[in-house]
Amino acid sequence: MQDKILSLLTEINDFEIINKETLEQFKRNYTSKKGIITTLFEELKQLDKSEKALIGKSLNELKRRAEEKERYYQEKFETNYSREPYDLTLKGITQSEGSRHPIQITLHKIIKIFSEMGFQIAEGPEIEDDWHNFTALNFPHNHPARDMQDTFFLENPNYLLRTHTSSVQVRLMEKKELPIRAIMPGRVYRNEEITARSHCFFHQVEGLVVDKKVSYADLKQTLEWFVQKLFGRDTKIRLRSSYFPFTEISAEVDITCFICGGNGCSVCKHSGWVEILGCGMIDPQVLINCNIDPEQYSGYAFGLGIERITMLLHKITDIRLMDQNDIRFLKQFHYFSLS
């Protein structure tokens, strides 16, 4: 029904009202007791409680916009125009409203969830040096990520466009203002071929917690809370062993597919699970690199791609749509609020 509402919004915005006859046609189609909006409210009653809140909010917004347009033209056609060349009391032409970019909508939701858990927001430079981007994070000198085929290096080979926001984690730990509980949103760059599934620049949110007696259980509990707030209370997670140079233990995190409920569909490739992020306990050597005593402190880190989460939430099949500024794509997100 959400897709139908979005389609109706476009239809209502594009409906041209040029006289009283077309206004009456608009009323019959949308706002009358037999109009399509009334029909949708009847269909809303049949939905599950879990769907009613989201669909109902969008439907109320659709009704409001249709009634505003009807009211505007009703007043316009009933106005007794002044004999003067200009009537400055007339209502101006309503400008169409813009909408938030889908990446910003997703990012705002993620930041809000982690802020409620006490995480601070930290930012750092997009042009980084080798130490903060690689060496401090245990990347060996022969690691493939250091190749020009994977990383955008500047004229000075010691500087590059950051490949992840983990460099901000290093900068935070170097300050030694412990304990640390922060997330690092930002844009990152990798020398990859641009396709429907990958791009040479994208957005990440990484998280870092450093304190005394931080455990793997703390990490799992944090991620469980996060995915249930973002994808729904019934969402479950599983952690699969993986490898990252800067964490040990390392894991990839999967969630039960929120499209099919874990039963299997094209989104989850009929497995019932969708991968969303990587995580792990901070390698003690990384703490040592940042002058933090691993005998006293421990921590965990995680990172996820905003574009991937956005594509999953809104069933977007081509990542390239995110940076093309095509109004036909962007206006579909007019109904998605930042609350």
Summarised one tens digit per residue, pLDDT across range 180-212 is 999 999 999 999 889 988 899 999 999 999 999
pLDDT at 142: 80
pLDDT at 258: 74
* DSSP label of 300: E
pLDDT at 84: 52
**What pTM was estimated for this model as a whole?**
0.68
Q: Domain ranges for the chain, please list them.
A: 2-78, 102-333
In the chain, which stretches have pLDDT less than 50?
80-83
Going by C-alpha positions, the residue among 234, 252, 255 that lies closest to residue 244 is 252
Listing DSSP states for 204-246 in one string gives EEEEEEEETT--HHHHHHHHHHHHHHHH-TT--EEEEE--BTT
pLDDT at 82: 46
pLDDT at 86: 62
Going by C-alpha positions, the residue among 181, 179, 174, 183 that lies closest to residue 212 is 179
pLDDT at 263: 80
Q: How far is CA 313 from the centre of its chain?
A: 8
pLDDT at 33: 84
> What is the Cα–Cα distance from 57 to 335, expressed in whole angstroms?
9
- 45 is written with which tokens? 């009653």
CATH of domain 102-333: 3.30.930.10
Going by C-alpha positions, the residue among 96, 85, 169, 105 that lies closest to residue 314 is 105
- 60 is written with which tokens? 């109320």
